[in-house]
């Protein structure tokens, strides 16, 4: 019977159809989550912000988008992905609108940017939602494809500055509000929870304590803080870095940031598929050692187009591979009934990994006039995580 359900149309609920719907919703909400970063130069110039103030503004949505994944993952285990995707899309409309109305006020941008982080919690909905539709040997593929929705940051980096130039800040944000409303309606109408999924109705706190008691939760959190945190940090702060360190125009910086995000997005499903073939641990190690090597190159502040441009693309590919590999590892280590709660915790760690680097980069640049120290720290952390991985997961195939 369950096999028959899996073969029906998207409206009834096929694995591929629901994977496509979840990826689309994830893409759009990630675009909304990253509405502030691509406009950082405009906000900085219009409001007279220091580099540290700008980095705080860019990082603020990441905070709620990170910590909010913990309760959202737990709620997904209870209510399912259909309800939670719909709720996240609709709730994100309010801060999206209010950010658009607050372009002339730094305190209001901080306040509503904080709540814009709600859109970033969709990740903790999608991982358990798509996991439930696939067997264990296909979950690396499924989570990798779903994770490609983080390309919403690429769309934001490329299109948001251009839409603002053409139509203005408020109209751009109003368009995003309409898109979120439509996506919420689509998810409610078409998405279906897997017939393999069943709600966990016990209280949330015991489930969270249960997930926190798992060694795999803490291990995966450390790994994901590096790879997804690195992706988020670059996606949100790279427009600022390129306009300050390499003097690019805001639209040019946005185009290059979009290229970075696209490279990471392409690499994420590759990381999942590669993990299905060679094992998630090897996939993670390729990511970590690659991140270390290319961070060293960028620490030397090479010329903008080459080798800096190439190094940014290669570090994006490395981080993208890692984001796919880590959740292939989670799917191997964690029982499916706990994946939502564990995903929320691991996703929060990943988001927090992306919260602090922009703040650090802003402080480093304001103090030294260069980003060298920030890239050196990234290389050191990547090397430490790689060495830890070789020891902690030596028995995982």
3-class SS letters over the chain: CHHHHHCCCCCCCCHHHHHHHHHHHHHHHHHHHCCCHHHHHHHHHHHCCCHHHHHHHHHHHHHHHHHCHHHHHHHHHHHCHHHHHHHHHHHCHHHHHHHHCCCCCHHHHHHHHHHHHHHHHHHHHHHHHHHCCCCHHHHHHHHHHHHHHHHHHHHHHHHHHHHHHHHCHHHHHHHHHHHHHHHHHHHHHHCCCCCCCCCCCCCHHHHHHHHHCCHHHHHHHHHHHHHHHHHHHHHHHHHHHHHHHCCCCHHHHHHHHHHHHHHHHHHHHHHHHHHHHHCHHHHHHHHHHHHHHHHHHHHCCCCHHHHHHHHHHHHHHHHHHHHHHHHHHHHHHCCHHHHHHHHHHHHHHHHHHHHHHHHHHHHHHHHHCCCHHHHHHHHHHHHHHHHHHHHHCCCCC
**pLDDT digit string, tens, across residues 101-136:** 999 999 999 999 999 999 999 988 998 899 889 887
Q: pLDDT higher for 28 or 141?
A: 28
pLDDT tens digits, one per residue of 168-204? 999 999 999 999 999 999 999 999 999 988 887 778 7
pLDDT tops 70 at residue 4: no
Least confident span in 173-182, 243-252, 317-326 = 243-252
Indicate whether 1 pLDDT > 50: no
> Residue 397 has what pLDDT?
65
Please tell me the least confidently modeled range out of 109-123, 342-356, 379-393. Answer: 342-356
Q: Check: pTM over 0.85? Answer yes or no.
A: no
Confidence at residue 348, expressed as pLDDT on a 0 to 100 scale? 83
């Amino acid at each position: 019977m369950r096999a028959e359900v899996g073969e029906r149309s998207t409206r009834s609920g096929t694995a591929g159809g629901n994977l496509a719907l979840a990826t689309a919703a994830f893409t759009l909400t990630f675009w909304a989550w990253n509405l502030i970063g691509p406009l950082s130069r405009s906000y900085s110039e219009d409001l007279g912000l220091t580099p540290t103030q700008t980095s705080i503004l860019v990082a603020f949505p990441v905070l709620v988008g990170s910590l909010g994944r913990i309760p959202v993952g737990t709620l997904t285990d209870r209510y399912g992905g259909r309800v939670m995707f719909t709720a996240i899309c609709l709730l994100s409309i309010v801060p999206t609108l209010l950010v658009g109305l607050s372009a002339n006020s730094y305190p209001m941008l901080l306040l509503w940017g904080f709540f814009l982080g709600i859109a970033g919690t969709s990740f903790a909905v999608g991982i358990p939602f798509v996991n439930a539709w696939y067997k264990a040997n296909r979950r690396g593929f499924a989570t990798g494809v779903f994770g490609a929705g983080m390309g919403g940051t690429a769309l934001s980096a490329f299109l948001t500055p251009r839409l603002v130039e053409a139509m203005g800040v408020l109209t751009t944000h109003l368009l995003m509000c309409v898109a979120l409303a439509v996506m919420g309606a689509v998810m409610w109408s078409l998405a279906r929870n897997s017939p393999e999924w069943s709600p966990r109705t016990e209280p949330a706190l015991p489930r969270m304590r249960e997930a926190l008691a798992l060694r795999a939760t803490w291990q995966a959190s450390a790994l994901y803080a590096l790879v997804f945190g690195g992706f988020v940090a670059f996606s949100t702060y790279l427009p600022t870095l390129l306009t300050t360190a390499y003097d690019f125009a805001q639209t040019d910086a946005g185009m290059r940031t979009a290229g970075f995000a696209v490279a990471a997005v392409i690499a994420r499903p590759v990381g999942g598929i590669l993990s299905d073939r060679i094992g998630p641990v090897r996939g993670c190690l390729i990511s970590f050692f690659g991140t270390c090597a290319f961070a060293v190159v960028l620490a030397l502040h090479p010329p903008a187009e080459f080798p800096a441009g190439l190094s940014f693309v290669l570090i994006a590919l490395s981080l993208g591979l890692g984001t796919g590999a880590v959740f292939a590892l989670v799917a191997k280590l964690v029982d499916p009934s706990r994946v939502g709660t564990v995903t929320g915790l691991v996703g929060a760690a990943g988001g927090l990994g992306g919260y602090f680097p922009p703040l650090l980069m802003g402080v480093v640049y304001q103090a030294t006039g260069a980003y060298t120290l920030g890239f050196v720290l990234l290389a050191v952390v990547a090397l430490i995580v790689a060495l830890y991985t070789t020891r902690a997961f030596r028995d995982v195939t």
